């Protein structure tokens, strides 16, 4: 369990960094955010996600530093509230990134959505085969 928490700390740290990087890149842009609905929506989503992923990173770092017992960690991370928050944060990150890509090119955004849908189905089948043992 400790290895999983360590991995999640770095994963959420990367998501936090992606949100910060978005705003740093936005500062160098000459285009106001208000000129594009897609860019405005992406900015709002990244702004909301920054404290969420920073909080996730902090929580996982705390679990490691506090040396919280594995059973307590497993129970906390397995709680429905935590699973839902994580799921919604990841889907929101995907939506923010899709909006950002679509701001630059609607065709690229459509390709991203199509590729994402395809890999989603493939991953579901792959994970299902692992669970079934086939």
DSSP letter string, 26-78: HHT-SS-GGG-HHHHHHHHHHHHHHHHHHHHHHHHHHHHHTT--HHHHHHHHH
Residue 133 has pLDDT above 90, yes or no: no
pLDDT for position 123: 94
Burial class (CB in 10 A: 0-12, 13-18, 19+), 99: buried
| Eight-class DSSP state of 66 | T
For 63-96, what is each residue's pLDDT tens digit? 889 888 888 888 988 999 999 999 999 999 999 9
* Closest CA relative to residue 2, chosen from 69, 86, 56: 69
CA distance linking residue 39 with residue 31, whole number of Å: 10
Query: pLDDT tens digits for 94-113?
Result: 999 999 999 999 999 999 99
Tell me how crowded residue 59 is: count the other CB atoms within 10 A of its CB. 16
What's the CA gap between 6 and 62, in Å, rounded?
11
Q: How far is CA 106 from CA 56, 76, 98, in A?
A: 32, 40, 10
**3 state SS of 133:** coil
How much is the pLDDT for 1?
Answer: 67
Q: Is the model's pLDDT at 9 over the cut of 80?
A: yes
Q: Which strand (E) or helix (H) includes residue 1?
A: none
């Amino acid at each position: 369990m400790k290895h999983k928490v360590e991995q999640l700390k770095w994963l959420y740290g990367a998501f936090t960094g992606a949100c910060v990087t978005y705003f740093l890149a936005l500062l160098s842009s000459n285009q106001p955010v208000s000129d594009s609905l897609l860019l405005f929506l992406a900015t709002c989503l990244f702004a909301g996600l920054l404290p969420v992923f920073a909080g996730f990173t902090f929580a996982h770092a705390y679990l490691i530093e506090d040396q919280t017992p594995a059973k307590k960690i497993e129970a906390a991370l397995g709680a429905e509230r935590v699973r839902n928050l994580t799921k919604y944060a990841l889907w929101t990150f995907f939506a923010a990134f899709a909006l950002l890509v679509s701001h630059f090119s609607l065709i690229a955004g459509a390709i991203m959505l199509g590729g994402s849908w395809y890999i989603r189905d493939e991953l579901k089948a792959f994970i299902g085969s692992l669970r079934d043992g086939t």
